[in-house]
Structure 1
Amino acid sequence: MPPLIRIATRTYPPDVGAAPFRLRALARALVAAGGEVEVVTTTPAPGSAPAPRDAGTSVRRAAVLRDADGAVRGYLPYLSFDVPLTARLLLGRRPDVVVHEPPPTTGLATRAASALRRTPYVSYLPDVWSQGAVAAGAPRPVLGAVRLAEQAALRGAAAVLAVTAGMAAEVVRAGVDARRVHVVGNGVDVEVFVPAPPDGPAGGPAHRGLRAVYSGTMSEWQGAEVFVRAFAELAREDPGARLTMVGGGVDLPRLRALAARLAPGRVELPGTVQPGEAARLLGEADVALASLVPGTGYDLMAPTKIAAAAACGTPVLFAGVGSGRDTVRAHGLGAAVEHDPAAVAAALRTWRRPDAGERARLRAWALEHGSLAAAAQRAAAVVLAVAAGRVPG
């Protein structure tokens, strides 16, 4: 009988975002390696696309609280999934291993159910939530509770999957045995995020204005406001310039109001779009935008925006700090500046449109370093080793 791997997550396709894409890729990699996967997750948001069906993967869904944008985001929505999760994980066939994603309360529920069923579990860590709580300005009691929950979940895991080396080091500093922490990387679906056709807008007339695209979450620690303010300066000088910002997040309503005030009609913020549409916009852009606010504690994040842009052959302008800035500079993926509207505007004024050779080089880098499927295969190898009783170390 193939090993059964149960994945506990508040978000899974048809939800759109880095987390659901990463977990579906993991499920596919596990099945391809001979496993059987069951996902314990939430019912889709109203109006979602049809839920995908993957051979070897079954999905158990339950109702959950969602915010006005349809996302499972915020303490009450998290708890609406996590409170019943322990009982849900106790139902059905006993798994060989359970994999959970953040928030830390999901990890606590997973740890409790795994203890009762005597099964190991794996923590998949795309970010450190206690640092995010600091960035969001959480009250001290909330911050303390998040940190304790996160440490309890991680210390009880048979293995921890970290997406960056810096994040792995942070987990070890928090008291997790370094032998149980594995860096698996991150990325995007390089079959979806592809360059624009050679005769498409990316290769259009040189006299058209600059096309800039931001694709991804807009929250406190991204600080995407810096691009709206910078573009308002550029728009006064370049009547043909356009900025498109796709994605959701707590900052979206505020950014829409700011764009309407500073650059009316020049900034589009349509909200979350399907991956294929995001890929089209990135492939047709002259520059992709990514950012991280200094001092939030999120310096360890590896924004998938960078891999998505490179896979589409588009250079990145990164504003801020952290591993994203370092990646852009080290691999020649574009440019990095301070998280400051004037610095961003200055970079955009002199931006050189990428030619075919540069787009091909960026695409090649993404195929080698930014493939989500390759990251999922590395993660699946660790999960299956835990399922087989060969706890990696």
Structure 2
Amino acid sequence: MPPVERPAVRVLLVSRIFAPEPAAASFRLRALTDALDDAGARVTVLTTTTSRAMAGTPDGTRDGVRVRRWPVLRDSAGYVRGYVQYMSFDVPVFFRVLFARGVDVVVNEPPPTTGFMVRLACALRRTPYVYYVCDILGDAVGATSAPGLVVRAVRAIEGWAWRGARALLSVSGGVTRRLAELGVRGSVHEVGNGIDTEAFSASGDAVVLPSGDGAGADDGAGAPFFVYAGTASEVHGAGIFARAMLLVHAQDPRARLVFIGQGAEKAAIADECTSLPPGTVTFLPQAPPHEVARWLRGAVASLASVRPGGGYDFSFPTKVYASVACGTPAVYAGIGPARTLVSDEHLGWAVDYEDGAVADAMLAALEAHDRGPDGAAGPDGAVADGEPRERRQERLASWAAQNASLAGVARAAALVVIEAADR
């Protein structure tokens, strides 16, 4: 008797953010669709129409992955961020999930309001779902000035969404431990996190920043610059790099600072830079991964931070992975697992969240860059004494390929999703 052919698992992925939006969630979820496609699953993505900045940019998904977009409200920075914006996605997505045809399992991303709607819809249609836990929003809201009633409501909605899931995908040990502290244990699968090491790599051209005013590329030697690429929100506290730049510029007027992306603190950061000469700090809009990689390859170092006490002490900013994959060391300010990793693996300079400490690290990165083939010294430096710059780039990129590739993370997550459907 011939074997019975097993039907393909039908997966519905629900997220307010997806490729080509340049964000960690977009990279992570697109990698998951690739892994599910490799496993023979049929994948449909329910997401939003792209932001104005990304309009017309290909999402990079495979031909077998269907992406269905829905209009949504965005804030002034172009993000689906805030209760009204969330609801503009979550209310329609309840009906989109409820009436979707041919679904074996649903996968959803935060915010918790999306998880709430997914649980309701899946309960009515008796379909299991998997919750991708990339952060703990209840902790983040609890660290703000939000009223206690709002904090309790967010925690309750988030917990309810977690408890209804057949499985939870955790992006880090910190998230897994926090879930355990909140009473969530048995269904948690720690799959890790990473970056698209094809989009972010050490091979390719690099931006050269002219030593005069403005930001752009040319063929000559240019000014040394730092790059902060990604969201600059309250939990990141990226304003510390603008304040540190005041100290750095006083000692090395050549240095430049480039912010790429958006965020709630962008206007405040710009205010911090008003006393610096024009062209010292440049703000660029969101950009696709290949363009961000060009900036990272040309930078002295990238910048990343997590503000202590902001509710995200356990988080790991994936911009560190992107930088290292491009062969560029990182200057990390704050606490959390990224600080330990950057220091232990010699991926850059990991310091306290303090203006002077950050400025010292940036100056050390400039010194390391200037010494070039001769190597560099300094506390917690990314470059060992005598390590040539090219060797450093190769070492960092090799480390990222072995330890921070999203492909392996996505394969582990896909197995959990398929198992959830099978059960």
Q: TM-score, normalised by structure 1?
A: 0.94
**2:370 pairs with 1:370:** no
Amino acid at match of 1:218: A
Partner of 1:335: 349
| Partners of 1:375 and 1:126 in 2: CA distance | 13
Offset of 1:68 from its aligned partner? 1.4
Match of 1:300 among 296, 314, 331: 314
Q: Judge conservation of contact 1:107–1:150 (CA < 8 Å) in 2.
A: yes
Match of 2:201 among 190, 194, 201: 194
What is the CA–CA distance in structure 2 between the aligned matches of 1:220 and 1:200, rounded to whole Å? 29
- Which of 279, 288, 296 is the equivalent residue of 1:282? 296
2: distance between equivalents of 1:222 and 1:92?
37
Q: CA deviation at 1:212?
A: 1.1
2:188 corresponds to which of 167, 181, 201: 181
* Counterpart Cα distance in 2 of 1:367 and 1:5: 28
Q: Distance in 1 between matches of 2:118 and 2:141?
A: 21
Aligned: 1:131 with 2:139: yes
Moved more, 53-62 or 88-97: 53-62
Is it true that 1:315 corresponds to 2:335 in the alignment? no
Question: Whole-Å Cα distance in 2 between the matches of residues 179 and 111 of structure 1?
Answer: 18
Give 1:166 deviation, angstroms: 1.5
Q: Does 1:26 align with 2:32?
A: yes
Q: 8 Å contact 2:141–2:311 — kept in the other structure?
A: no
Give the whole-Å Cα distance in 2 for the aligned partners of 1:348 and 1:209: 14
The question of whether the paired residues in 1 share the 8 Å contact of 2:246 and 2:276 is answered with yes
Equivalent pairs counted in the alignment come to 387
1:3 corresponds to: 9
| Larger displacement relative to structure 2 (210-219 or 101-110) | 210-219
For the residues of structure 2 that align with 1:252 and 1:115, how far apart are their CA atoms? 40
Aligned mate of 2:419, from 352, 370, 385:
385
Map 1:197-276 onto structure 2 (within 5 A). 209-276=223-290
Residues 196 and 284 of structure 1 are in contact (CA less than 8 Å); yes or no, is this contact kept in structure 2?
no
Letter in 1 for 2:321: A
Aligned to 1:169: 177
Q: Kindly indicate whether the alpha-carbon contact (under 8 Å) linking 2:333 and 2:353 is maintained by their aligned counterparts in 1.
A: yes
| Residue identity matched to 1:38 | T
User: 1:108-137 CA distances to partner (integer Å, 9 max, x unpaired)?
Assistant: 111111111111110001111111112333
Question: Which of 7, 15, 40 lines up with 2:21 in the alignment?
Answer: 15
Separation (CA, whole Å) in 1 of partners of 2:262 and 2:204: 27
3-state SS of the aligned residue for 2:85?
helix
Which residue of 97, 100, 108 corresponds with 2:105?
97
Give, as a single letter, the amino acid of the residue that structure 2 aligns with 1:46. R
Identity within the alignment, %: 42
Residue 357 of structure 1 corresponds to 391
Residue pairs, 1:141-152, within 5 angstroms: 141-152=149-160
Q: Deviations over 1:170-217 (max 9, x none)?
A: 1122122x2310111111111111115599859x99x96532111111
My pick for the range that moved more, 62-71 or 345-354, is 345-354
Query: Does the CA contact (< 8 Å) of 2:242 and 2:272 recur in 1?
Result: yes
Question: Once the two structures are superposed, what CA deviation does each residue of 1:239-287 show, in whole Å capped at 9, x if it has no partner?
Answer: 2111111111111122123223345320111121111111111111111
| Whole-angstrom distance in 2 between the partners of 1:92 and 1:35 | 16
Structure 1 stretch displaced more, 93-102 or 208-217: 208-217
What one-letter code is carried by the residue in structure 2 that aligns with 1:317?
Answer: V
2:63 corresponds to 1:49: no
Secondary structure of the residue aligned to 2:52 is coil
Residue 189 of structure 2 aligns to a residue whose secondary structure is: strand
Q: Which moved more, 1:71-80 or 1:353-362?
A: 353-362
2:100 and 2:251 map into 1 onto residues whose CA distance is 63
The aligned amino acid for 2:24 is: A
Quick one: distance in 1 between partners of 2:56 and 2:263? 19
Paired amino acid for 1:108: F
Give, as a single letter, the amino acid of the residue that structure 2 aligns with 1:245: F
* CA contact 1:252–1:271 (8 Å) conserved in 2: no
For 2:264 and 2:344, locate their aligned partners in 1 and report how far apart those are by CA, in whole Å: 31
1:76 counterpart residue number: 84
Distance 1:51 1:201 in 2: 26
Displacement of 1:45 in angstroms is 2.1
- What RMSD over aligned residues (CA atoms) do the two structures have, in Å? 2.1
Instruction: Decide whether the 8 Å contact of 1:232 with 1:263 is kept in 2.
Output: no
- CA contact 1:135–1:220 (8 Å) conserved in 2: no
> Structure 1: 5+ residue runs without aligned partners?
none
Structure 1 residue 373 displacement after superposition: 1.6
- State the alpha-carbon separation in 2 of the partners of residues 150 and 246 from structure 1: 31
Match of 1:40 in 2: 46
Partner amino acid for 1:387? A
- 1:200/1:219 Cα in 2 relative to 1: closer, same or farther (>3 Å)? closer
CA distance in 2, matches of 1:81, 1:14: 18
Deviation track 1:120-175 (CA, whole Å, cap 9, x = no partner) reads 11000111111111233322111111100110011111100010011011112212
Contact 2:208-2:222 at 8 Å conserved across structures:
no
Return the alpha-carbon distance in structure 2 between the equivalents of residues 148 and 262 of structure 1.
Answer: 45
User: What secondary structure, in the 3-state scheme, does the structure 2 residue paired with 1:83 have?
Assistant: helix
Residues 15 and 47 of structure 2 are in contact (CA less than 8 Å); yes or no, is this contact kept in structure 1? yes
1:60 Cα offset (Å)? 1.9
* Counterpart for residue 154 of structure 1: 162
